[in-house]
Amino acid sequence: MKNDLIVIVDDELEITSSYEILMRREGFKNYALYNDPLKFMEDLPDLNPAVLFLYLRMPGIEGEDILQTVSSEKMNTSIFIVSGTEDVETAVRCIKKGALDYLVKPIDRSRFQTAIMKGLEVYGVKAELDVVKACLTKSSSQQNANFKHIITRNSEMMSLFGYLEAISEGNSSVLITGETGTGKELFAEALHKSSGRKGEFVTVNVSALEENMFNDTLFGHVKGAFTGADKERKGLLATAAGGTIFLDEIGDMAEASQIKLLRVLQNMEFLPIGSDKLYKTTARIIAATNADLEKKVKEGLFRRDLYYRLKVHSVNILPLRERKEDIELLFYHFYEKFMNGDNKESINVPD
């Protein structure tokens, strides 16, 4: 994400220099600064900015005109209009033309960082959706081998393979829903294998973890954090670095644990028990549940903000009764598996 290009166009050198300092402090290295908006327009065909900050009033061409041009190019760029004055009418007009937000100077470090992270997140989702559209046009004969162990010939299930393959290389969280026994973990593991991630695929049933156990299991602890903590323990988020962590039965998670997970999803960082140092996580989060989360949200049993953070991408797996064409396939799959095992007693296969 931090390798995506960030561009700032502002005719004031002092302003762009201050932005540059902020970006360096936050670890962003791929950026471009323009004090001449016309030069930016000249270079635009060779740029593919993930995030673009445009000052509204500039000589030669105004930010609003640049906004309209970039938006018409069907680029996935997240555009922020920056102005020295708060003008609701102009803000509404810019957002209708494609701006993600309208910011008023001066922009402090926290607001600037939040805008960048929001812009990169939106850019990433748009880019993933482009890949989705391309992958969904693939024929079933081009099915990703990582999904071949999931036995089905149901067209809706096959479409899920294409969708999951399309989003596999992204970083956004994924929510998998479906009844018990539909194979949610199989889908999550196939998604991980398709991603090319070099880290581990780590699974944990979060419904079985009360708050303290949840914190220790996911975040780990430092030596001496509590009685009996005689050595440091690495949490599962650290174990899954560069890989995927699969959180099963997310719908039964305690409220306190929901808050902790929300913070991870918002900032992609966690705090081990007893530590005063935050650690970044590079693990992709896939969650699964057999519960109706929308209903739980309405009942106040599941946080709405967490729900939407988890379901950036979401898939629902059909139960077997809704894909009866798979029954025969599954029967012969398990029959063959049985006959190739230790127990080879003859059984009658009905016509």
Mean pLDDT of 202-216: 91
**Which comes out higher in pLDDT, residue 134 or 195?**
195
Mean pLDDT of 98-104: 92
Mean pLDDT of 317-346: 75
SS3 39: helix
CB 173 within 8 A of CB 286: yes
Please give the structure tokens belonging to residue 4.
Answer: 């995506």
Mean pLDDT of 271-290: 93
Q: Looking at 72-81, 229-238, 304-313, 324-333, which range is the least confident one?
A: 324-333
Nearest to residue 157, comparing CAs of 321, 314, 315? Answer: 315
Mean pLDDT of 303-321: 93
Q: Tokens 């049993």 belong to which residue? A: 301
Please give the structure tokens belonging to residue 213.
Answer: 């156990």
pLDDT tens track for 139-182:
444 557 888 888 888 888 888 888 898 889 888 999 999 999 99
pLDDT reading at 273 higher than 90? yes
Give how far Cα 294 sits from Cα of 13, 201, 287, 303, Å: 49, 27, 15, 10
CA end-to-end span of the chain? 55
Query: How would residue 1 be classed by pLDDT, with cut points 50, 70 and 90?
Result: low
Q: Best-predicted range by mean pLDDT among 122-126, 244-248, 319-323?
A: 244-248
With a CB cutoff of 8 Å and minimum separation 6, the contacts of 46 are none
Query: How would residue 310 be classed by pLDDT, with cut points 50, 70 and 90?
Result: very high
Query: How would residue 71 be classed by pLDDT, with cut points 50, 70 and 90?
Result: confident
Looking at residue 170, what is its pLDDT?
Answer: 86
pLDDT reading at 350 higher than 60? no
Domains and CATH numbers, the chain: 6-130 (3.40.50.2300), 138-325 (3.40.50.300)
What is the DSSP annotation of 72-116?
HTT---EEEEEESS--HHHHHHHHHTT-SEEEESSPPHHHHHHHH
Share of the chain above pLDDT 70, in %: 91
Q: Residue 98, by phi and psi: left (phi above 0), alpha (psi -120 to 50) or beta?
A: left
Q: Across the chain, what does the average pLDDT equal?
A: 88
Mean pLDDT of 199-203: 96
Looking at residue 133, what is its pLDDT?
Answer: 62
